């Protein structure tokens, strides 16, 4: 069996998605997500110029060997562009293997460990009252876990707020838009949100919050401590993790569970965090961290230290990543939760899939492979549109982390 053809499809049904399609000489094909928000065309070039020519003629059944070939063989390892490309190849190859075996991906991984995959949705509002209402609407939709973000008085365009509640989408504009940040104002305001949420809805629902890398370790420690009475499911991306040791300081001061990893590319980004038990949830996912093959390694290491998974699932990860992640989640023994930001109807139409939402959970289907396809005719109707993520500056103009 051989890889006969491999090509990249770029489409923008409301937002950009990059998809890799690998076709075999036996008529079976597989697809993988290669979307890197705001930097999409860099992965297209990496695939088209450097990866796809090497794949032609290879045996698509040799998933592990092809992974090692792309990772070690490039000499230049890791990084979001390289690893998004490797992820797309890996996901497409697992899709092919599932189709050839006539099995859904979770069966190939070792079978079902749970009946459904608990997900969390994104509730946000311009102020606390609006966020309270938004959380209420997620509860009404059946969610059992909800991430809550609110506008902060005196801060223009705080992270996680604005432009619609169900389909919040930060990327836009042919150049990055400017937002302003002030951690002091944020730290004063956020505990009030969670106090109000618990007094309004009680403790039967899981609440989550994303700090989006804005705080220093000691500021994150202060927030974690202030939020302890409200028993969060997790505080996410409390501080940047290039220095994995930074999380030790947060950990020493608070019992609020910590999650990190949506921008990690490999197991090496998470190794110290996991081995020193500095986090509770690892948020790497299929498209960003080397596909199913590498994600499994990260999850297995995490399991040794009682760290559970909590895969990233924002709208910039295509339905292909969501479909593959759900098979992974259905199998992985140390599952924690799956993020689920809904895609728009336009996106869902371009990527027909068999997963479905039910009672606060997603259920993967039984279609062989990962269960997601691409309608290429429809995809062709939505040409690529440049769109950047915003940047953030402090009030005095200093560049900060968006």
C-beta neighbour count of 167 within 10 angstroms: 16
Helix (H/G/I), strand (E/B), else coil: 178 = strand
CB of 316 to ligand KDG, least distance (A): 4
Instruction: For residue 212, indicate whether it is catalytic.
Output: yes
What is the dihedral angle through the alpha carbons of 325, 331, 332, 336, rounded to the nearest 10 degrees?
70
Output 262 or 329, the one with its CB closest to ligand KDG.
Answer: 262
Q: For ligand KDG, how many residues bind (rule: CB under 6 A)?
A: 10
CA 285, 117, 135 angle in degrees (round to 5)? 90
C-beta neighbour count of 399 within 10 angstroms: 9
State how far Cα 70 lies from the chain centre: 22
97 binds ligand KDG (CB under 6 A): no
Among 11, 37, 124, 318, binds ligand KDG (CB under 6 A): 37
> Could you give the string, one character per residue 197-236, with x where binding to ligand KDG holds by CB under 6 A and - elsewhere?
-------------x-x------------------------
316 binds ligand KDG (CB under 6 A): yes
Question: Out of 29, 46, 159, 382, which one is annotated catalytic?
Answer: 159
CB of 337 to Mg ion, least distance (A): 13
DSSP calls for 143-170: -SEEEEEE--TT-TT-TT--S-STT---
Among 301, 314, 378, 391, binds ligand KDG (CB under 6 A): 314
Question: Out of 122, 209, 212, 312, which one is annotated catalytic?
Answer: 212
Helix (H/G/I), strand (E/B), else coil: 1 = coil
Q: Where in 150-179 is the site for ligand KDG (CB under 6 A)?
A: 170
Task: Please state, in angstroms and rounded to a whole number, the distance separating the CA atoms of residues 72 and 62.
Answer: 15
Task: Please state, in angstroms and rounded to a whole number, the distance separating the CA atoms of residues 253 and 218.
Answer: 9
Residue 316 binding result from Mg ion, ligand KDG, none, given CB thresholds of 5 to 8 Å by partner type: ligand KDG
Task: Please state, in angstroms and rounded to a whole number, the distance separating the CA atoms of residues 30 and 387.
Answer: 27
* Interacting residue ranges for Mg ion, rule: CB under 5 A: 210
90 binds ligand KDG (CB under 6 A): no
- In the 8-state DSSP scheme, what is residue 11? E
Residue 157 binding result from ligand KDG, Mg ion, none, given CB thresholds of 5 to 8 Å by partner type: none
C-beta neighbour count of 11 within 10 angstroms: 25
Residue 327 binding result from Mg ion, ligand KDG, none, given CB thresholds of 5 to 8 Å by partner type: none
Q: Where in 261-280 is the site for ligand KDG (CB under 6 A)?
A: 262
State how far Cα 246 lies from the chain centre: 22
Task: Please state, in angstroms and rounded to a whole number, the distance separating the CA atoms of residues 184 and 182.
Answer: 6
CB of 399 to ligand KDG, least distance (A): 17
Instruction: For residue 159, indicate whether it is catalytic.
Output: yes
Mind telling me the catalytic residues?
A: 159, 212
Binding site for ligand KDG (CB under 6 A): 37, 170, 210, 212, 262, 312, 314, 316, 339, 389
């Amino acid at each position: 069996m051989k890889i006969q053809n491999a090509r990249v499809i770029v489409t923008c049904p409301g937002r950009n998605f990059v998809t890799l399609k690998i076709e075999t000489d036996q008529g079976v094909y597989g697809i993988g997500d290669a979307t890197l928000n705001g930097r999409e065309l860099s992965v297209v070039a990496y695939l088209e110029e450097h990866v796809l020519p090497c794949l032609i003629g290879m045996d698509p059944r040799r998933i592990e060997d092809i992974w090692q070939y792309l990772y070690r063989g490039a000499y230049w390892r890791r990084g979001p562009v390289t690893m998004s490309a490797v992820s797309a190849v890996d996901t497409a190859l697992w899709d092919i293997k599932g189709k050839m075996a006539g099995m859904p991906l979770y069966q190939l991984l070792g079978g079902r460990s749970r009946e459904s995959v608990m997900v969390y949705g994104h509730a946000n509002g311009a102020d606390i009252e609006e966020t309270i209402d938004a959380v209420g609407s997620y509860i009404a939709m059946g969610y059992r876990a909800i991430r809550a973000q609110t506008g902060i008085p005196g801060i223009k365009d705080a992270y996680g707020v604005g432009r619609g509640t169900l389909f919040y989408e930060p990327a836009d504009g042919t150049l990055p838009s400017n937002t302003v940040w002030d951690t002091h104002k944020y730290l004063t305001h956020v505990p009030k949100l969670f106090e109000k949420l618990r007094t309004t809805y009680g403790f039967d629902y899981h609440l989550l919050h994303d700090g989006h890398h804005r705080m220093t370790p000691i500021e994150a420690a202060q927030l974690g401590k202030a939020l302890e009475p409200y028993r969060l499911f997790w505080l996410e991306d409390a501080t940047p993790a290039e220095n994995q040791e930074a999380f030790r300081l947060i950990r020493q001061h608070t019992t609020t569970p910590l999650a990190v990893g949506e921008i990690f590319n490999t197991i090496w980004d998470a190794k110290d965090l996991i081995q020193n038990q500095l986090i509770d949830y690892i948020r790497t996912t299929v498209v960003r961290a080397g596909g199913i093959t590498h994600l499994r390694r990260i999850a297995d290491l995490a399991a040794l230290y009682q760290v559970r998974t909590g895969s990233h699932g924002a709208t910039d990860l295509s339905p292909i990543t969501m479909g593959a992640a759900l098979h992974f989640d259905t199998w992985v023994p140390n599952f924690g939760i799956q993020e689920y930001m809904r895609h728009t109807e336009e996106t869902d139409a371009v990527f027909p899939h068999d997963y479905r939402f039910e009672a606060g959970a997603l259920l993967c289907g039984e279609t062989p492979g990962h269960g997601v396809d691409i309608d290429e005719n429809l995809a062709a109707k939505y040409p690529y549109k440049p769109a950047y993520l915003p940047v953030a500056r402090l009030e005095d103009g200093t560049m900060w982390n968006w």
